[in-house]
Amino acid sequence: MSLSIRSISVRAGELLCYAAGVVFTGFFAVQLAQGEVERRSTIAVFEQQMQLASAAVEMPAVEGASSPEQAPVTAAGEGPAPASSATPGFSVDEEPDTSLWAPGRIADYQKSLSAKLPPVLGVLEVPAVELKVPVYQTASELVMDRAAGVIDGMAYPHEGGNIGISGHRDGYFRVLKDVKVGDQIVLQTLEGEKRFTIDATTVVDKTDTHLLKDTREQTVTLVTCYPFYFVGHAPQRFIVTASLDTTYVNQN
């Protein structure tokens, strides 16, 4: 009799563990789905702004109409301040593949979903590695937990010079390990689509910033930690440099 009761108890414990696993798996799936909705909504905001900006440029001026206020200047004193993102609309066909992400990075991503982020300035795409991610106006830890950000002091997507974009090596930017020279980078900005061609991938010490210096021509520099699967604080940086393809750029 005691053996039978013990067997029933063990079986009941197994069933409870199984049920708990199902519940936690479902919760995890819901969090990832919420994150994908957030990512799509953020990109939606930006692309709708692009359409509105394009329509405003094409609209002929009406005599007697009040002129728009002068756009504020950024802290760097170059170009208009980044627009605020507030209107959803665009959807992304592919969900982000988190199979390469570290479990801790996925957890940080989930925690970031309830936080308010600064304005989004663009959308970065690297088609060869199926990367598509919003780009925010700063590269804080919170921003990089959610997406990618402009490195402080470097050019914004709507400005000339060296556009520096940073992301976590164990999150969105882990796919950069597979990029090759000649691959294309597409940067959606409020001025239109800009395309860049990857010139080089370089590994440098984390204190080496020579590739982050401003450039006369418009360039894109993607930065993430290296090695990609290093445990702890990575000692190096993996840097992708790309030059503007003037065949497609919306020149001003």
Question: What CATH number has the domain bearing residue 33?
Answer: 2.40.260.10
In angstroms, the CA 23 to CA 15 distance is 12
For 184, the domain range is 2-83+97-244
pLDDT at 112: 83
Phi, psi of 126, rounded to the nearest 5 degrees? -125, 90
Mean pLDDT per 10-residue segment, the chain (252 residues): 60 65 56 53 56 41 35 37 36 60 88 84 95 93 93 92 96 96 94 94 96 95 96 95 81 47
Look at residue 187 and tell me if it is in a domain. yes
Contacts of 80 (CB under 8 A, 6+ apart): 71, 72, 73, 74, 158
Q: How many domains does the chain have?
A: 1
pLDDT at 202: 97
CA angle 231, 232, 238 (to 5 degrees): 80
Three-state SS at 151? coil
Look at residue 91 and tell me if it is in a domain. no
pLDDT at 66: 34
Look at residue 88 and tell me if it is in a domain. no
CA distances from 125 to 62, 72, 96, 132, 152 (A): 37, 28, 12, 4, 21
CA angle 81, 84, 85 (to 5 degrees): 140
Helix (H) or strand (E) holding 46: helix 2-58
Is 158 part of the annotated catalytic residue set? no
Look at residue 48 and tell me if it is in a domain. yes
Look at residue 75 and tell me if it is in a domain. yes
Look at residue 249 and tell me if it is in a domain. no
pLDDT at 2: 53
User: What is the pTM (predicted TM-score) of this model?
Assistant: 0.65
Is 210 part of the annotated catalytic residue set? no
Contacts of 137 (CB under 8 A, 6+ apart): 82, 118, 119, 120, 121, 149, 150, 156
Look at residue 175 and tell me if it is in a domain. yes
Contacts of 118 (CB under 8 A, 6+ apart): 136, 137, 138, 143
Look at residue 92 and tell me if it is in a domain. no
pLDDT at 19: 65
The one catalytic residue in 158, 210, 225, 233 is: 225
